[in-house]
Amino acid sequence: MAEDSPKRRKANFNEAETEVLIEQVLKHERLLFAAGPGRASPGQKRKVWELIRHKVNPVAACPRDVEDLKKRWRDLKRRDRSKLCRLSQGCGPPGPAAALGLLLAPEAMPPAAAPPA
């Protein structure tokens, strides 16, 4: 067997990276996830994800690529859906802004995602 050094995994996302990712995805949610006739082209979505990457990397523990960000977003959504299911005992699919309310304290949430008072 070769004595190559094993591939090391990237560092976990820190809180600042996660907050920037959530803020930017929610800001561009319509472009990234809209369905129907008004949806963005794959090229437009790629540009938006690159923009998000440029916003996340200055606060990142290590450089992130677009695939890392997409995976983290999917994981955040999945984790929050399971939390909501456990809390409400009804496992219907919540909207992303409602689901992310469990991730951030109300004062830390972007204004568009803050729950009504």
List, for residues 82-116, the tens digit of each pLDDT value. Answer: 877 777 765 555 555 555 655 554 555 555 555 55
Q: In whole angstroms, give the CA distance from residue 66 to residue 17.
A: 13
Does the structure show a pLDDT above 50 at 10?
Answer: yes
Rounded to the nearest 10 degrees, the angle between the axes of helix 42-56 and helix 15-27 is 150
pTM flag (> 0.75): no
**Element housing 36 (H / E):** none
Domain assignments of the chain as residue spans, ordered by start: 15-87
The pLDDT assigned to 117 comes to 47
The pLDDT assigned to 84 comes to 73
Tell me the pLDDT tens digit for each residue of 13-57. 999 999 999 999 999 999 999 888 888 999 999 999 999 999 999
